[in-house]
A and B are shown apart, each in its own frame.
Chain A
């Protein structure tokens, strides 16, 4: 088995930290903010690996640190400590993403990563046309031929079940579910080796949620793309992820096969989460 991404002892905190932080924060204490120094420990000692072609789910309540973890993997948030090792599919040597300078990080993000945000306005420029948004990613990946960019954009729109004739329409004329699909099209534009999905179906009604999830499942199936999926919804995780990590108060409290997490949860918080599922 080849891993694509390995996260080793990753930390992110907001504040100076104090010697009492470790004692006073975490799932056992039920808080991620240290009452003595006020430091917020958004992510503490995260360790996991991601095999090529698999979907790993990260589940947890609001404020558990799952989006922070995703942002660090997306290189849009610097880690305080730890490593994010990336092993390119074409060679065996791993690269520590945390050690990259800004220029290399931007190149890496454009070449190898795609991200779909919970809110479309975070992932899309609402003043550009839909085609312009997808083209932005291709331009960053050094595409220059306008005809080819439009052809690739149309192809991506078809792939994500968007009408290609609306390539020049502005995003605000699209529905919420369609905007998520535009984000997916943009994320897939440069054929990334890792797709990051941050609460992609939150705020969508049930039938639209189902269509977006089906689309993601189909794309994963066809392209065998590796995905890191963040959600607070166990139903979404169950549908897409075969392995799952459970986070609470900035820490990973449990990880395992998704069916094992659902059927035999070990940690008290995971048991609460599973028993709270609708």
Chain B
């Protein structure tokens, strides 16, 4: 019964009470299913909308590869709506504890700041990772059903790389939630910064190396090309450094009690 275990359990009880444990996986399953189904029906949709305007569709163009569809699930569903939903559901992770005095109360007990941060990150990351993986597997099942099969190993590798980017999203939101006090400000700053990271990924190899969103790009590349890019390990290392930096900064901010309003 270490403090880490108790704090992790408390977070899970909280998620259960808020029904978060049900709706967040459902939302990710919905996002994961959207991309394959819309891509599958795209020729019919185009035909229904542009049928009498002389638009014809080359049948060979509409034959999409399954790997491309599942990569598009990661790139255009999880990286846009998914980021927003993760940030909005996690924006109160520290802020609400600050607002109702729970953080001050916990720190009067013999609990280390590290155990508090660890419990928060462990519970929330394990939960988000399971949600994202569920959504991804739903997408995988749909792609296998509607398109062609994807090699199992590449699928697993891609989701592992993608989860490192998800861990960065969580740690970044965590840091912003520690520093600022308004929920709207936290959501705005986190979403804008993370989407800017995402936009800058893929522009230039050197920028990609420093950019945590490069992990998402690499996950898509593994799916599409089936081989691991040589820059991946450097990018993974630098992303882990970024994660360590954000967590260290949050640790410093809480242990120095800088979160008090002036």
- B is bound to A: no
A→B interface (CB under 8 Å): none
